[in-house]
Amino acid sequence: MRFIRPMVYSAMAIVIGTSAFLLTTKQATSQTDVVNQLHPTAYIESNEVSASFKVGGRVTEILVKEGDVVKKGQVLARLQSTEIEAKVEQAKAAVALAQGKIAEAQGATATAQAKKQQGIAGVNVTADTAEQQVEQAKAAVSAAQAKVDGLHNGARPEEKKQAEIQFQAASEVYTIAEQNLNRMKAMLEQGLVAQADVDKVKVSFEEAKTKRDLAQQQLNMANQGPREEEIRGAEALLAQAQATLKLAEANRGNVQVREGDVAAATAAVQQAQGAIQSAQSGEQQAKAAQLEAETYLSYTELVAPVDGVILSQSAQAGELVGSGFPVLSVESTEKRWAKFYLPETSIAGLKVGNNISMTMLSTGEKIVGTVRTVAAAPDFAIKKATQTSGETDIRSFGIRIELNTLPDTATTGMTLQWNGKTEG
């Protein structure tokens, strides 16, 4: 009995101490949970992209190493391309040959077209004017014949009478002009008129004298008849008109011949145009082959798919690699993000587009990001309810933050701590 009581007291002390320890531990854990819920952490993340050739071959050179910063489109490695380069040159030569054939066919087409147009113009002129030329030639023959006949027959009585009347009228005008001139000369000697007035009258006199002389000649010709040389000249003109008529009639028969030339020229144009189409088809095929060869040649260069940093290298110069083999691994720096998990009690009012303040734990620097997605469904329970306290589970939602700007010291994998929303 004496030994039992101390044992009971000792047991009671142990129970009391254990209870106090558990209570203290629970309070500390609760405080830590509260801190973690209010200021959760996440890691800087980015995409990792594999860079691989589209065709297989032997690697001739690798231009980067692990840790190098690269830009999108930068050449990272090359494959042996001797055979493909030869195919490109062969395709270029085929294109040049096809283009030469096109130029040749176009020249033939232009020549044939010119001949066709020339023939059409000739046919049109001949068809439209042949009859007119014949009629004009007939009229010229008739006129020349009438002239010859008139010369042989001499002047008619009425023509002689007309010549006499014209001569008499011209003589009377001459007589009056002569009298006026003599009167003006007398007045000039008396000082009654000026020399200029006399000169004007003298001009009129000379004109009247010329007209009288011409009328005298016409009258003489009418009375004497045509001279022999006039008759010969008229007969020569008649012969010339008759020859022109024969030529016009002969040209009228050439219309059908020229129409045949036009038909032949039209066929030549069509043939030349067909040659152009054939040559153009050959050019298109040659260009397609050139494009294909140049495309395959471009596949021998491995370019960076994104801006980023080289993480790893899986092939060496001289090795054979297959199509799609990941030669290099590139960590993208174009877009980086962090994914935080917040309790459902902390996301009220949080929307896509909100700016979020964060702290880099490694340096203490403050950075700002933008909410891009808020998970539509919870991911897991951030706090489990106990059976005795009557609490409920508190679930977490994933929040993806796009990191707009990062300091140079920030690298993928560093820890960020959530501070909360910012204005602006």
Q: In this predicted model, what pLDDT tens digit does every residue of 108-148 receive, in sequence order?
A: 888 888 877 877 766 665 666 667 777 887 888 888 787 77
- Check if the beta carbon of residue 222 is closer than 8 Å to that of residue 151: no
Would you state the structure tokens that stand for residue 300, as one six-digit string? 């021998």
Q: What is the pLDDT of residue 73?
A: 94
Q: How far is CA 353 from CA 181, 201, 346, 369, 422, in A?
A: 121, 115, 17, 9, 11
- Check if the beta carbon of residue 84 is closer than 8 Å to that of residue 296: yes
Burial 12-23 (b: 16+ CB within 10 A, else e): eeeeeeeeeeee
Domain ranges of the chain: 37-67+309-422, 99-264
Q: What is the DSSP letter of 416?
A: E
For the chain, residues with pLDDT lower than 50 are 1, 21-36
Calculate the dihedral angle through the C-alpha atoms of 93, 96, 98, 99, rounding to the nearest 10 degrees. 170
Calculate the dihedral angle through the C-alpha atoms of 19, 25, 28, 30, rounding to the nearest 10 degrees. -80
Place of tokens 């002689």: 160
Please give the angle made by the CA atoms of 102, 93 and 105, to the nearest 5 degrees: 10
Residues sharing a CB contact under 8 Å with residue 398, sequence separation 6 or more, in sequence order: 339, 340, 341, 373, 374, 375, 379
Q: d(Cα 333, Cα 331) in Å, to the nearest integer?
A: 6
How many of the other CB atoms lie within 10 Å of CB of 155? 20
Phi, psi angle pair for 188, to nearest 5°: -65, -40
Q: What is the DSSP letter of 365?
A: -
Q: What is the pLDDT of residue 26?
A: 45
Would you state the structure tokens that stand for residue 24, as one six-digit string? 């203290």
Closest CA to 396 of 31, 41, 46: 41
CATH 1.10.10.10 given to domain 37-67+309-422: no
Q: What is the pLDDT of residue 231?
A: 74
Would you state the structure tokens that stand for residue 56, as one six-digit string? 């297989």
Q: What is the pLDDT of residue 401?
A: 95
- Check if the beta carbon of residue 356 is closer than 8 Å to that of residue 338: no
Closest CA to 119 of 268, 322, 229: 268
Determine the residue type at 394: I
Q: What is the pLDDT of residue 78?
A: 94
Strands 57-62 and 75-79: antiparallel
Q: At what angle do helices 82-153 and 228-252 cross, to 10 degrees?
A: 140
Phi, psi angle pair for 168, to nearest 5°: -60, -45
Q: How many residues does the chain have?
A: 424
Q: What is the pLDDT of residue 126?
A: 60
pTM: 0.45
Closest CA to 372 of 395, 346, 339: 339
